[in-house]
Structure 1
């Protein structure tokens, strides 16, 4: 995901969204508290510390951070973007208890910079965070600003890729000059070593991103469209699935009645302002291969639509084609989505209540054994769950048992059927669900992460779904001839033209929306059997939603709160 630097140039590559801010935590050299375990490798933004709550609530921690930073020749300040958004939130006209609920589950960023005239220490969030936890003893309220990722970068395949922020969720095509033509690709069991094992899933023909044809009917809605997107013509309330991803682009399956694009809260995008996929120029702008994550959000939308055609998809663009995500951006987007959801629950026009949230990206935490790891992100996810949103996250594609977050916020399970939690689960709060990937034959995909933190598996290798019809890259057909028998153009398959609107791809990125669609379908069946619920105060409505989410989780996964 980090683009290579131009040879001979000391300037950061302008196409690299992480340029100049990212550090890798080295367990061998990282400072640590005397009573703490050695950290594990992770990647993070050197100039930001995340805090749970609001600046007013964390006044003591902010003062301590400022004091500790001063000792190193740094200054700290609350990120002005969070200040502005909290001001906007105050104008959202939420009920007082709902507004307090959002603030309780909020979080914000603290920026670190060198004090003018001081050059003693390069800015680094890690030692400052360790000092803060050592002095306050409160690890649950502060965290690094991790780098999350949704795709494999150009630096190598997953098991050889040293930087966690290139954590692949879908397996993507290698650079064009190393990619054999599909028809010369040996069968998987005869593949040479460079394409054996996990890397097979990145090769077109073995699960890598490639065009395909859909010859069946489009998914059919049982309930005809009504006057608005939420309610069908017969009065059935549609389930709503939110996607924080690359957005959903043009496709015949996705009119405005199916996909709500670029949702906003009081004029502020739920996603990241300016996040775009582009045509595919981030990795190598002079040669033009498709970006690693291009089409990711559209592909995920198609999987949800196949499993539950009656669902409404709320699609917010969180990141662009490179697949890189700043945890701080994710945290802000989740806070905005929580506000959007509560406004929808209260019946505000232009907002929809969210039933299911799909997150198809992740990062490896430096201390996953800590009970209170990553409190700021965990708190806002808990807020969504407490508000009745079922959250589904992809488990990752490294073929490892190392927990990947946010999927690893899922409860630990004993792996037999039905799955049994290692600790009692709150019957009033639906748990986050971590999803691994299956091959077409039902076996677990070799790349799929696993462990007691993974709730279940769903199809995720060699799956077929929607791709943006305008998507095309620099590769082309090997033969292209005009003047066929009927005057048509004759050519071989263009390996990265998706004008037909469909493709094949692999990754736990795609297992998560399959389960998300299953949850939406379970919620829809329940609503078909019940009379519409009477309007209720947001607190009572939230209780109903939490109970319904739990019933859908039990039906689709076997997990129960007992």
Structure 2
């Protein structure tokens, strides 16, 4: 396993010649429809007069994110609703919901008014609000509190026959992508330690049973490798507003894509694979698993924001003496989006959530994306933003091939902090995954009560797989950091400044070791 740091400090560098659709994942119509998604293509959308054309992104067309200060102030909320009414749409603010109190943003449905045939489109609505020039026009500070909700996608590579995905960055050279294998080496033993370093992984969750690790709920207080959070998942399910299956359980299906073909869902087992990499590389940590990603690889921005604030709330409560709350030492994110701002300067609240964690002394390690693009991929690209001296590091992680060259599918750019092995990795995978693809040849054994067959490409009963993606480079980078952190005195960290200093010292030590 390799980790290579960039020879510069991460920074943003505008690229005016970049293709406007660079970095936008290609998704099927059925996937977009499942999540109320729409692709913002600059040449096909309305735009505010006098403003630069947007660049491509993917957003939820019938939802907005609105700052909580607008929702809670009756006069301001009514001012916004009144400005929206002439467009033929309405903001259903009474249904506004925030997963975690005080997270800064509320998800608000946008509907057509009765008797009006106006098409519901959050982007068009925002542009119309910005072009109103009469007495109903909104002040700029209010408009800045109303934004699109992005659909975020996980960064894995699964090319191959029947995958439904076009090859990205010539990803055909990575074979069939996710394929079943068997693991020869046993998992490393876990040592008994006082307080384990804890890594939060916000992804597709982990199975309740797997031969490589044990799982418990956080309320049980057990020293299992994985801790899940049924209470948080129930809250996520309560606020679900999508045609897709709600994420109200730490682990559930569907195993298969919602088609008649019966293929294993494109991102099924994604979080399990990430968790297994930490189990191999940093066995003495504990993983705090929060399920915020659907098994087709998409996540909703407001749910990711809620999960990030939930982790921060846990840390603050634990430091304040709450024995039922969890201290988290790092957060790993494998999903992201490209922003519609032509200057690649995202607004909204996900940046606030990431920076809140950093200010609490919690490093955030995020995948740089798999679009073979230099366009900033958020939240990873927040690594390029200035931070206070007391904030923990934010790392954006690209992928290396096993030979230490950058993987063809990986994003890269001046905003990427480091690169870790992200191609041809072996890790844990749900044993129950079995798709419709069959071995090329099969015959009955003449001796044993079983078949002779060629390799079955989607029978994962072994519990292990080979996969590629910057999604998997990120937990590897986190494992290196946690191992460096473990070399220091863990003890009790009394506050954010001490935790941040410890993280920076570990990162400095790690860079020196790898130089």
Which bin holds the TM-score, normalised by the shorter protein? Answer: 0.7 to 0.9
Q: How does 1:58-137 map to 2 (within 5 A)?
A: 62-78=77-93, 80=95, 82=97, 85=99, 89=101, 103=102, 105-119=103-117, 121-132=118-129, 135-137=138-140
Q: Does 1:548 align with 2:510?
A: no
- SS in structure 1 of the partner of residue 414 of structure 2: coil
Q: Structure 1 residues 294, 195: closer, same or farther in 2, change over 3 A?
A: closer
CA distance in 2, matches of 1:533, 1:496: 46
Higher deviation after alignment, 291-300 or 302-311: 302-311
The alignment covers a number of residue pairs equal to: 464
Deviations 1:183-238 (A, max 9, x none): xxxxxxxxxxx97962225523xxx11111211121222x22xxxxxxx3xx2x21
* TM, length-normalised to structure 1: 0.75
Q: Is residue 202 of structure 2 the alignment partner of residue 244 of structure 1?
A: yes
Alpha-carbon spacing, 1:267–1:147, altered in 2? closer, same or farther (3 Å): closer
SS in 2 for 1:375: coil
Residue 441 of structure 2: aligned partner? 479
Is 1:141 matched with 2:95? no
Partner of 2:186: 217
* Residues 28, 498 of structure 1: alpha-carbon distance in 2 compared, 3 angstrom cutoff: same
Q: Deviations over 1:67-115 (max 9, x none)?
A: 22112122213363625x45xx5xxxxxxxxxxxxx3x53212221122
The one of 21, 40, 61 equivalent to 2:55 is: 40
Is 2:403 the counterpart of 1:441?
Answer: yes
Choose 288-297 or 379-388, whichever is displaced more: 379-388
2:359 corresponds to 1:386: yes
CA distance 1:278–1:266, change in 2 (3 Å): closer
Indicate yes or no: 2:43 matched with 1:28.
yes
Taking the aligned partners of 2:318 and 2:67, their CA distance within structure 1 comes to: 25
SS in 1 for 2:349: helix
Q: Which residue of 1 aligns with 2:172?
A: 200
Deviation string, structure 1 residues 386-437 (Cα, Å, up to 9, x no partner): 222211111111111111111122216xxxxxxxxxx6x4221124211100
In 2: Cα distance, 1:21 partner to 1:197 partner: 27
Offset of 1:51 from its aligned partner? 2.6
2:9 aligned partner: none
Distance 1:289 1:266, change over 3 A: closer
Distance 1:53 1:385 in 2: 22
Judged with a 3 Å threshold, the aligned counterparts in structure 2 of structure 1 residues 20 and 247 are, in CA distance, closer, same or farther, namely closer
Partners of 1:109 and 1:291 in 2: how far apart?
27
1:274–1:352 Cα change, 3 Å = closer
CA contact (8 A) 2:264 2:435 kept: yes
Instruction: Determine if contact 2:480/2:510 at 8 Å carries over to the other structure.
Output: yes
Q: Partner of 2:467 in structure 1? A: 505
Tell me if 1:526 matches 2:485.
no
SS of 2:34's equivalent?
coil
Aligned in 2, Cα 1:215/1:438: closer, same or farther, shift over 3 Å? same
Structure 2: how far apart are the matches of 1:358 and 1:426?
Answer: 21
Measure how far apart 1:133 and its partner are. 5.7
After TM superposition, the structure 1 = structure 2 runs for residues 218-237 of structure 1, keeping only pairs within 5 Å, are 218-221=187-190, 223-224=191-192, 232=193, 235=194, 237=195
Q: Secondary structure at the match of 1:244?
A: strand
Instruction: Indicate yes or no: 2:349 matched with 1:376.
Output: yes
Instruction: Answer whether contact 2:247 2:294 (CA < 8 A) is retained.
Output: no
Q: Give distance in 2, aligned partners of 1:215 and 1:339.
A: 40
Determine if the alignment matches structure 1 residue 299 to structure 2 residue 273: yes
**In structure 1, how many angstroms separate the alpha carbons of the residues matched to 2:114 and 2:335?**
37
Match of 1:273 in 2: 248
Q: Do the aligned residues in 2 keep the contact of 1:148 with 1:324 (CA within 8 Å)?
A: yes
* Cα pair 1:465 1:502 within 8 Å, conserved: yes
Cα offset for 1:54? 4.3
Q: Compute the RMSD of aligned alpha carbons.
A: 3.0
Structure with bigger RCO (C-alpha 8 Å, 6+ apart): 2
CA 1:81–1:332: 2 relative to 1, 3 Å: farther
Q: 1:407 matched to which residue of 2? A: 380
CA offset at residue 379 of structure 1?
1.3
Q: How far does residue 462 in structure 1 lie from its aligned partner after superposition?
A: 0.6
Matched residues in 1 for 2:68 and 2:108: separation? 12
TM-aligned CA distance change 1:338 to 1:252, over 3 Å? same
Corresponding residue SS for 1:170:
coil
Q: Which blocks of at least 5 consecutive residues in structure 2 are unaligned?
A: 1-25, 132-137, 216-223, 238-245
Change (3 A) 1:81 1:357: farther
TM-score normalized with structure 2 length: 0.82
Displacement of 1:502: 1.1
Distance in 2 separating the partners of 1:28 and 1:399: 22
What is the Cα deviation at residue 132 of structure 1?
Answer: 4.9
Runs (5+) with no aligned partner, structure 1: 6-15, 90-102, 151-168, 180-193, 225-231, 413-422
In the TM superposition, residue 36 of structure 1 has moved relative to its aligned partner by 2.6
- Which residue of the partner structure matches residue 370 of structure 2? 397
Structure 1 196/130 Cα, relative in aligned 2: closer, same or farther at 3 Å?
closer
Measure, in 2, the Cα distance between the counterparts of 1:263 and 1:448: 34
Deviates more, 1:468-477 or 1:337-346: 337-346
The Cα shift of 1:60 comes to 6.3
Q: What is the Cα deviation at residue 485 of structure 1? A: 4.2
SS in 2 for 1:552: helix
